[in-house]
Structure 1
Amino acid sequence: MVGSKNNKRTRLVILYSLASILLLVMVYPYLYMVLNSFADWKQVDKKLIPTSYTLQSYSWLFTGGESGIARPWLGAFFNSVIVSLASTALMMLFAVMVAYALSKLKFRGRDTVNNFILFHMFFPSIILLIPSFLIIQKLGWYDTYWALIIPKGMSLWAIFMYTNFFKAVPTVFIEAAKLDGAKDFQILYRVMIPMSKSITSVIFLFLLMERWTELLWDMIMVQNDNMLTLNVLLSQMFGPYATYPGPLYAGSVLLSLPIIILFIIFGKNFQQGMQVSLK
């Protein structure tokens, strides 16, 4: 008995040690980025863990460094917030409406629409980049929020996820709501959406993260410094400011911080949603 307990304890120690090592391997790149964003410039990329810290890198970002011309970091941050939240809201709005129609309504061509969505999910979106750019120019949306928000306001992946979830909802709830006189929109927003909070957290976080980190589209659609998003502004630093790694790390921290905060806030709902989506 004593030997078996010792063996079990030894296995647990080994497993926890391996898990701790793997966790450190996954977390360390971000930790390295954060530490070097605060590190003294003489120690940036010189040590695995810097020993001297300063706010010089962040001060350099917001004051313009040696040029004295401050880059629009705060403006770019708010542009990213506006564009990401608006695009995510549109994606989720369209997703729940289309998914409800595909899962609970009967109409001619429903299977065709569903198959088209599945096909388009495997279609490389970069092929449509040039036609989309020309359409934006024709509409006069270039260098505007419309160009950054509207074309990114539809997510086939979100439609697919909501459709599969809504199909699993028993029709008895919908029939009961119809007996009470509820219309389809009322059923959607008073029955289906409240029942899908867990999967909604997963979809919201993934869509927001995808839109927040979008680079190619934002880089092509705007040139005005006042319209730049945070990731585009950060990408522009790698050329002329490549010799200043500290500010690059600081900009990367600013870009990733909101996503990390959201995951911390919605972590519990995210885990529940992942469990539901994998069933």
Structure 2
Amino acid sequence: MVGSKRSRKSSLAIRYIIAGVLLLVMVYPYLYMVLNSFADWTQVDRKLIPSSYTLKSYTWLFTGGETGITRPWLGAFVNSIIVSLLSTFLMMMFGVMVAYALSKLKWRGRDTVNNFILFHMFFPAIILLIPSFLIIQKLGWYDTYWALIIPKGVSLWAIFMYTNFFKAVPSVFIEAAKLDGARDFQILYKIMMPMSKSITSVVFLFLLMERWTELLWDMIMVRSDGMLTLNVLLSQMFGPYGSYPGPLYAGSVLLSLPIIILFIIFGKNFQKGMQVSLK
């Protein structure tokens, strides 16, 4: 008995050690970026763990440093928030409505539309980049919020996720609501949406993260400094400011910080949603 208890404790300790090492391997790249964003410039990228820290890299970002050219970091941060939140809202709104129509309503051509969505999910989006750009120019949306928000307002992945979830919801709830005189929009937003809080957290975080880190589309659709998003502004630093690695790390931390905060806030719902989506 004593030997078996000791063997269990030793095996458990080995598991904890292995899990700790794997966790450190996954987390350390981000930790390295954070530490070097605060590190003294003489130690950036020269030590695994810097010993001297300063706010010089962050000060450099907002003041222009030795170049004296201030970059619109605050404006780019606000632009990223506006574009990401509005695009995510549109993607979720259209995703919910289309998914409800595909899963709970009967209409001619439903299966064809569903198959088209599945096919289009595997279609390389970059092929449509040039036609999309020309359409944006024809509409006069170039270098505006419209170009950054509207074309990114539909997510086939969100439609797919909500469709699968709504199919699992018993139709008894919908039939009972219709007997009480509820319409489809009322059923959708008063019955279906409250039941899908867990999957909504997953969809929201993934869509927001995808839109927040979008680079190619924003680079093509933006020309003026006033419309720059944070990721585009950060990408522009790698050329003329490539000799300043500290500010590059600081900008990367600023870019990743909102996603981390949102994940901490919605972490529990995200875990529940992942469990539901994997069933």
Q: Secondary structure at the match of 2:89?
A: helix
Name the stretch that deviates more: 63-72 or 206-215. Answer: 63-72
Question: Any runs of at least 4 consecutive aligned residues in structure 1 with deviations exceeding 6 A, and if so which?
Answer: none
Match of 2:91 in 1: 91
How far 1:62 sits from its partner (Å)? 0.1
How far 1:34 sits from its partner (Å)? 0.3
**Paired residue type of 2:199:** I
Q: Secondary structure at the match of 1:71?
A: coil
Name the stretch that deviates more: 103-112 or 60-69. Answer: 60-69
Distance 2:186 2:242 in 1: 54
**Paired residue type of 1:88:** T
Q: Tell me the alpha carbon deviations over residues 198-240 of structure 1, each in whole angstroms, 9 at most, x when there is no partner.
A: 0000000000000000000000000100000000000000011
**Paired residue type of 1:200:** T
Match of 1:220 in 2: 220
Match of 1:48 in 2: 48
Match of 2:249 in 1: 249
Match of 2:209 in 1: 209
How far 1:68 sits from its partner (Å)? 1.0
How far 1:172 sits from its partner (Å)? 0.5
Match of 2:270 in 1: 270
> CA RMSD for the aligned pairs?
0.4
Q: Tell me the alpha carbon deviations over residues 168-200 of structure 1, each in whole angstroms, 9 at most, x when there is no partner.
A: 000000011001100000000000000000000
Name the stretch that deviates more: 195-204 or 66-75. Answer: 66-75
Distance 1:94 1:258 in 2: 24
Match of 1:103 in 2: 103
Q: Secondary structure at the match of 1:70?
A: coil
Match of 2:163 in 1: 163
5+ unaligned residues in a row in structure 2: which ranges? Answer: none
What does 1:60-139 align with in structure 2 at a 5 Å threshold? Answer: 60-139=60-139
5+ unaligned residues in a row in structure 1: which ranges? Answer: none
Match of 1:179 in 2: 179
Could you tell me the percent identity over the aligned residues? Answer: 86
Q: Tell me the alpha carbon deviations over residues 79-122 of structure 1, each in whole angstroms, 9 at most, x when there is no partner.
A: 00000000000000000000000000000000000000000000
Match of 1:11 in 2: 11
How far 1:69 sits from its partner (Å)? 1.5
Distance 1:180 1:44 in 2: 66
Equivalenced residues, count: 279
Distance 1:218 1:120 in 2: 22
Q: Tell me the alpha carbon deviations over residues 150-169 of structure 1, each in whole angstroms, 9 at most, x when there is no partner.
A: 00000000000000000000
Distance 2:238 2:109 in 1: 49
Q: Tell me the alpha carbon deviations over residues 46-86 of structure 1, each in whole angstroms, 9 at most, x when there is no partner.
A: 10000000000000000011121210000000000000000
Distance 1:129 1:70 in 2: 32
**Paired residue type of 1:266:** F
Match of 2:39 in 1: 39
**Paired residue type of 2:249:** Y
**Paired residue type of 2:16:** Y
TM-score, normalised by the number of residues in structure 1: 1.00
TM-score, normalised by the number of residues in structure 2: 1.00
Distance 1:39 1:266 in 2: 31
Distance 1:121 1:255 in 2: 27
